[in-house]
Amino acid sequence: MAHNTNRLIHPARMSLAEVETAWQVDGGTPLPECTYDPELHTGPRLTIESSHERAAREAVAREVCATCPALELCRLYALEARPKSGIWAGRTPAEFAELAGELEDLEVA
């Protein structure tokens, strides 16, 4: 998937070329919904949001993710990449960390 060696790039921040390379499925590219409004999924770049504003933004981002054609690709990407911020496939990084831990527990058992 498209990222540099220093940090992961949220699909919302990828260029169209990176999206087309990273999200290719059966010859087509399901364009992630987050590419239309990046700050909805990654947060504002130049302002600080209150916890209430963040919760409201994340709730809307989760709704957008629910109907995204790249939802499953994003989920797999986030499980592998372990993001530190943003909303990925409708989940926060903390939720992915918890899910990854549960999956690891199942693999061990």
**3 state SS of 5:** coil
Region 52-74: what's the mean pLDDT?
A: 93
User: pLDDT digits over 25-53, tens only?
Assistant: 777 777 888 888 989 999 998 889 999 99
Distance CA 65, CA 70 (A): 9
**Predicted structure pTM score:** 0.74
What percent of the chain has pLDDT above 70? 86
Residue 40's Cβ-count burial label (10 Å; 0-12, 13-18, 19+) is buried
